[in-house]
Structure 1
Amino acid sequence: MAAGFKHHQKKFIHMVETLLNNINRLLHHEDMGKLLLRLAVGGLMLFHGLHKLIDGVDGISAMLMAKGLPGFIAYGVLLGEVVAPLLIILGILTRPAALVLAFTMVLAWLMVGTAKTWQLDAVGAWAIESLIYFFIRALAVVLLGVGRFSLCWQYQLAIVYLSGIFICTIKQKCQIQPTNNLLNRIITRLK
């Protein structure tokens, strides 16, 4: 009886392993996961930025001046909440843009969140939950990178350095690499 049980147990374990392997193989799409993460982080933050772009940054400027800082630096929020999210969504300079977004969340916490750090909001959630959400997800984008589904991956860009010393082309995955025979390579890459 024990031998029959062990046989069925082995068959069951093999069936479960096969099922899990097939599910993992079916759902293994790292680049799609990176795209969804970028769309969520960039897209949701863009709503915050568009609000400030439309209504202005006067409230932020007033908070800065109350802390003894110049009010004009409030326009920096547009960099962190409009430009950076757009770059993240498009997959252009994704890691630096995600770092800017993470830094923006740290600044937002320092401006309005420090008093709320150990509090819950009206529905019982952590009062700085959305700041933490955007900060952690921006760091995830920094660590994971852009993935295949981005403008950076699909289009090869030419960068001409103003110094005129050399020209680089940004190849797939946006790795800058110096080139020789400058003009021919740029023309070839841009076709």
Structure 2
Amino acid sequence: MSSSTAVKPADDTATTQAGTATRSTGELVLDILSALARFGMAYVWINAGWQKVTESHINMVQTVEAYEIFTPYWSDLIAQVIGPLELAGGLLLLLGIKIRWAGGVSIGVLLIFIMGLYSAHTRGLVIDCGCFDPATADPQEGALLKSIWRDVAYLAVTAFMMWRPFKKFAIYP
């Protein structure tokens, strides 16, 4: 007489009666975190871009000029393109088009933002970063450091999203 004992899989993957493996709790948690990262960063970029696109061009140029990094020509150019680029990046993430590539571009842009914020902070400028709503600019001491740390957190979220992209509902992952 032989007795058969069920062997539990090495990981915490559950097995259905048909013998097919289902996702583990850990995998489900990672999927949820990945979805939150992708859609959360899509929201961040779309929100930031929309605020800039709907803002007056003169206010946007003044926001860029406040950093005292660029010439008037470059400030004007940056003010024209930054909003639409942020919108485009957010839409790529939302729709799931080239998720890792969009994440890489997002990290590059965040690094540029962090360098600009750090440059302004080290030179003692007290300016509003202009990140989300330039119309309600309220420069305060220490605000640039808070913006830097916020962007570092966005970097971490984006890196996680690139490491484990949530491909469900993606058009072209």
Q: TM-score, normalised by structure 2?
A: 0.59
Is the alpha carbon distance of 1:74 and 1:96 closer, same or farther for their aligned partners in structure 2, counting shifts above 3 Å?
farther
Which residue of structure 1 lines up, in the alignment, with residue 70 of structure 2? 67
Q: Secondary structure at the match of 2:24?
A: helix
Question: In the alignment, is the contact (CA less than 8 A) between 2:50 and 2:87 conserved in 1?
Answer: yes
Over 3 Å counting, the alpha-carbon distance change for 1:31 and 1:148 in structure 2 is: farther
Q: 3-state DSSP class of the match of 2:167? A: coil
CA-based RMSD: 3.5
Larger Rg: 1
2:4: which partner in 1?
Answer: none
Instruction: State the distance in 1 between where 2:85 and 2:111 align.
Output: 11
Q: Structure 2 vs 1, CA of residues 76 and 148 (structure 1 numbering), >3 Å: closer, same or farther?
A: same
Equivalent position of 2:98 in the other structure: 93
Q: Are the equivalent residues in 2 in contact too, given 1:87–1:94 (CA < 8 A)?
A: yes
TM-score normalised by structure 1 residue count: 0.54
User: What is residue 132 of structure 1 aligned with on the other side?
Assistant: 152
Give the Cα separation in 1 of the matches to 2:147 and 2:79. Answer: 23
Name the CA distance, whole Å, in 2 between partners of 1:64 and 1:75: 16
The Cα of 1:129 is off from its aligned counterpart by: 1.6
Aligned to 2:136: none
1:53 aligned partner: 53
> Take 1:31 and 1:147, find their aligned partners in 2: how far apart are those partners?
9
- Structure 2 distance, partners of 1:127, 1:148, is 31
Structure 1 unmatched ranges of 5 or more: 1-20, 153-173, 175-191
Q: By how many angstroms is 1:60 displaced?
A: 4.3
- Contact 1:61 / 1:72 at 8 angstroms: preserved in 2? no
Q: 1:183: which partner in 2? A: none
Contact 2:37/2:158 (<8 A) preserved: no
1:93 Cα deviation after fit: 1.5
Q: Secondary structure at the match of 1:100?
A: helix
Q: 1:79 to 1:105 in 2, by over 3 A?
A: farther
Q: Distance in 2 between matches of 1:127 and 1:82?
A: 20
Report the CA distance between 1:84 and its aligned residue. 0.6
Which structure ranks higher in relative contact order (CA pairs < 8 Å, sequence separation ≥ 6)? 2
Pair 143,47 (structure 1): closer, same or farther in 2 beyond 3 Å: same
Task: Report the Cα distance in structure 2 between the residues aligned to 1:138 and 1:65, rounded to whole angstroms.
Answer: 28
Partner of 1:184: none
Equivalent pairs, count:
132
Structure 1 residues 36 and 66, CA gap change in structure 2 (3 angstroms): closer
Aligned-pair identity (%):
16
Consecutive unaligned residues of structure 2, counting only runs of 5 or more, are 1-11, 15-22, 123-140
Question: Hey, what's the Cα distance between the residues in 1 that align with 2:40 and 2:155?
Answer: 13
More helix as a share of residues: 1
